Each structure stands twice: as C-alpha cells, then as structure tokens.
Amino acid sequence: MLFLKLKYLLYYYKSKSLKKKCKKNYKNEKIEFVKKLYKKKFSNKWFLNNFEIFNFFLPKDKNKKFDYLEVGCFEGLSSFYVLSEYNYVNAFFLDIWDLPNPNSKTLSNDFDSIEKAFDENLSGFNFIKIKDDSVVSMRKLFKQNKSFDFIYIDGSHNGEDILSDAIEAFKILKIDGLIFFDDFLQYDNSRNIQSYEGISKFLSLYSNYLKIEFFQNNLVVRKKI
Ligand SMILES: C[S@@+](CC[C@H](N)C(=O)[O-])C[C@H]1O[C@@H](n2cnc3c(N)ncnc32)[C@H](O)[C@@H]1O
C-alpha cells in the first residue's frame, strides 16, 4: 500500500486538501440528509463517511438528467441519497444480496432482511433493481448498450473482485463519466488480494484512458476522451 501511495503521492495530498474543503462545504447538506433518515431502516451508515466527497463529484444541478449505476447497495443508503436528491436520475441499483459469491467474503448479515430493508427504504421511487452478481450484470448491461455517467462501486472488496468490477464498469462508462470506488485503501487480512492491489492493476492497465480525480480511501477516475 505504501508503494501505491508513494506512486500517487501528489494525487493523495491534493485529494486530502479537497476532502478537508468538502467536509466544510457540505456540512449543512449532510445534516439535512441525516434528518431524512429518521423513519428509514438503516442498520449501517457507511455511506456517511463518503457523503461530502460523493457530493462534490455528483452533478451540481439537481435537475440534471444523468445515468447512474450503483454496485453494492446493501440497505440502499447511498441509493436513497441519489434518488432523494436528483429529480431526473436514471438509476440502476445492483446487488447480489442473498445469493452469495463463493469467492467473496460476505458480510455476516441476514441478507433477506437487508434486501427487504432496501425495498422499503426506496419504496415510491423510480429505479431499476438488479439482483445478481456484479460482473454478470454489468456484462448484460454492456450487451444491452447501456452506459452511465456515474458508477459507484461498493460491492465485494476482494482485490480480484474489485478489479473485475472496475474493468466491467469501465466498458459501460460514458466518455467523461466517473467511477467512484469505496474503501479501496482498507486492509483486511482475511483477503488474499487486497482492494488496493486490484485497483493498482486497474490504474496501470488503463492509465492512458483515465484521469485520476481523487485519491484517498475513495478513488474517483474519469474516462478520458
Ligand atoms: C458495503 S455494502 C454496500 C453499502 C451501500 N453502498 C450503502 O451505502 O449502504 C456491500 C454490498 O455489496 C454486495 N456485494 C458483494 N459482492 C457482490 C457481487 N459479487 N455482486 C453484487 N453485489 C455484491 C453485498 O451484498 C453488499 O450489500
């Protein structure tokens, strides 16, 4: 991880200062969003750690039409944020929920109730829900000629899975579109390949085709023209 941080040191420090600014600038939006969660069913609020920087990269115009894909929705906290903020978002939410991927470490949750909570939390909104493995689903989306302006990847954090997710997501990302990765600098000794090792391969393979916009525990890349 140290080697990766050194390689991208400039991005790392630039992003650190952007993160600090965003924490300040989006403080009130975060307070307002947290108030909306009062009657919802969220047992985990991981997304709140990314709230400010996620906001920074989402469209500033809340009436903008854009194509959004989320990989790994859990109870739908980030999904709820996008749907409640953007009036014309064309949103696709994808998660495997109770169909475990044998290669991935799964969270020790009752995924039947997690999926039910997702359905309840998002009831009344318009969106496409896909219940399947991320790679399989993104390949299907590619075959259907779907493409996205913003892809949030928060599925399996195994290095090999995140690398496959990144490769499939890149195929269905529009030119100038963004991929936002969660928690890629997190170390977990139960994983054979760490997230950052997968991402590091992705960054080397695609270095000519992408621009790094943000590099901290979240990574944001833009598809170059
Ligand atoms: C950390 S949670 C996502 C949190 C969510 N974005 C939020 O804001 O609360 C990770 C999710 O990825 C899903 N997941 C793990 N491996 C997957 C795979 N291979 N395909 C699709 N989803 C997967 C899990 O079922 C889990 O719900």
What's the CATH code of the domain at 178?
3.40.50.150
Kindly list the strands in the beta sheet with 128-131, ordered across the sheet, starting from the edge strand earlier in the chain.
Answer: 128-131, 89-95, 66-71, 148-153, 173-181, 219-223, 210-215
Q: What is the pLDDT of residues 185-223, one digit of tens each?
A: 888 998 899 999 999 999 999 999 999 999 999 999 999
- Do 60 and 150 meet the contact criterion of CB atoms below 8 Å apart? no
User: Which three-class secondary structure string do you get for 93-105?
Assistant: EEECCCCCCCCCC
Nearest to 199 by CA among 182, 176, 223: 182
Ligand 1: residue of 70, 152, 154, 180 to mutate (most ligand atoms within 8 A of CB) is 154
Dihedral, CA atoms, 43, 75, 222, 164, nearest 10 degrees? Answer: 110
Q: Which atom of ligand 1 is nearest to the CA of 95?
A: 22
Q: Which domain holds residue 88?
A: 2-99+107-223
**CA 155–ligand 1 middle distance (angstroms):** 4
Output 6-12 pairs: Cβ under 8 A, ≥24 positions apart. 8/203, 8/212, 8/215, 11/212, 11/214, 11/215, 12/215, 12/216
Query: pLDDT-derived band of residue 111, with 50, 70 and 90 as boundaries?
Result: confident
Ligand 1 mutation pick, 33, 139, 156, 157, max ligand atoms within 8 A of CB: 156
Is the pLDDT assigned to residue 108 strictly greater than 70?
A: no
Average pLDDT in the 123-136 region?
Answer: 96
C-alpha to C-alpha distances, 103 to 93, 140, 162, 173, nearest whole angstrom: 21, 20, 12, 25
Number of domains in the chain: 1
107-194-216 Cα angle (round to 5): 95
- pLDDT reading at 3 higher than 90: no
pLDDT score of 104: 63
Do the beta carbons of residue 121 and residue 42 sit within 8 Å?
yes
Q: How far apart are CA 87 and CA 64, in angstroms?
A: 8
> Where residue 17 falls among pLDDT bands split at 50, 70, 90?
very high
Under 8 Å between Cβ of 51 and 26: yes
Q: 10 alpha carbon to ligand 1 midpoint, in Å?
A: 30
Return the residue matching tokens 């991402």.
199
pLDDT of residue 222: 98
In the reported structure, the alpha carbon of residue 55 is separated from the centroid of ligand 1 by a whole-number distance in angstroms of 20
pLDDT, the chain, mean: 93
pLDDT, tens digit (0-9, with 9 covering 90-100), for 152-171: 999 999 999 999 999 999 99
Using a 6 Å CB cutoff, which residues line ligand 1? 44, 46-47, 72-75, 77-78, 95-97, 101, 104, 133-134, 154-156, 161
Note the pTM of the prediction, 2 decimals. Answer: 0.95
The answer on pLDDT for 28 being more than 70 is yes
Ligand 1 center from residue 185 Cα (angstroms): 17
Selected residue with higher pLDDT from 149 and 104: 149
Biggest alpha carbon distance in the chain?
A: 47
- Report the separation in Å between the CA atom of 44 and the middle of ligand 1, taken as the mean of its atom positions: 12
Q: For residues 149 and 206, give the distance between their C-alpha atoms in angstroms, rounded to a whole number.
A: 18
Mean pLDDT calculated for residue range 57-73: 97
- The three-point CA angle 179-203-214 to 5° equals 50
